[in-house]
Structure 1
Amino acid sequence: MVTTPNHRFSPWAILHQRCSECGEGRVFDGAFRMNERCPVCNVKFERGPGYFTGAMYFSYALGIPIIAAGVLLGKLLLVPHWPLHWITLVVWVCFLPLAPAVFRYSRILFIHFDRYFDPDGAGD
């Protein structure tokens, strides 16, 4: 059991979807089910009602560049003769299988950034 808070920004923990405090416990128990607490250090992930609303901003910041890159790649290299709206539609459809990963990483990033900048939850 970890007794002292870590509060380090750890790219490894983010990449491997681990706890922001101990860097060991898994944040997600299944594809979409989050653990309420870290199985290693017992830190509670959701600090209060509506806590993960902030993760939507991270989701937007992750999703839009992926879609924009896909549209640019399609228009400039792959199918330049297609109308832009068709390329955009195809890119959105191709993005749909990535949506679960964006969902997970947006929450992971939000937890890590929130714990880094507000370790005690004083900003609640």
Structure 2
Amino acid sequence: MHANCPSCNLRYEKEPGNFYGAMYVSYGFSVGIFLVTAFILYHFFSDPTLSVYLITISLVALVLFPFNFRYSRVIFLYLIWKS
């Protein structure tokens, strides 16, 4: 990520440990990814075995990791930003 926002020049890292709260947002994204993937597997692939669930959910979470990392920080910034 950039050190400062290109459009508003907001410094992303305000103090050490500022983005610990983004971990909670990331956790919410991860739970959502897990639930949606499990729902799709259950309803569209007629309830496969546990190993298929574990492999598929792990792969989807790994592929969506960049999205999860970046947008959890962005959403956390929107939650704490005071204009």
Higher relative contact order (CA 8 A, sep 6+): 2
Which stretches in structure 2 are left out of the alignment for 5+ residues? none
The two structures have a TM-score, normalised by structure 2, of 0.84
- The residue aligned with 1:37 is 4
- The residue aligned with 2:45 is 78
Letter in structure 2 aligned against 1:111: L
- More helix by percentage: 2
Deviations 1:40-69, CA, capped at 9 Å, x for gaps: 332212110011111111111112111111
Partners of 1:94 and 1:74 in 2: how far apart? Answer: 12
Q: How much identity, in percent, do the aligned residues show?
A: 31
Number of residues paired by the alignment?
Answer: 83
The two structures have a TM-score, normalised by structure 1, of 0.59
Which stretches in structure 1 are left out of the alignment for 5+ residues? 1-33
2:20 to 47, 53, 57: 53
Structure showing greater Rg: 1
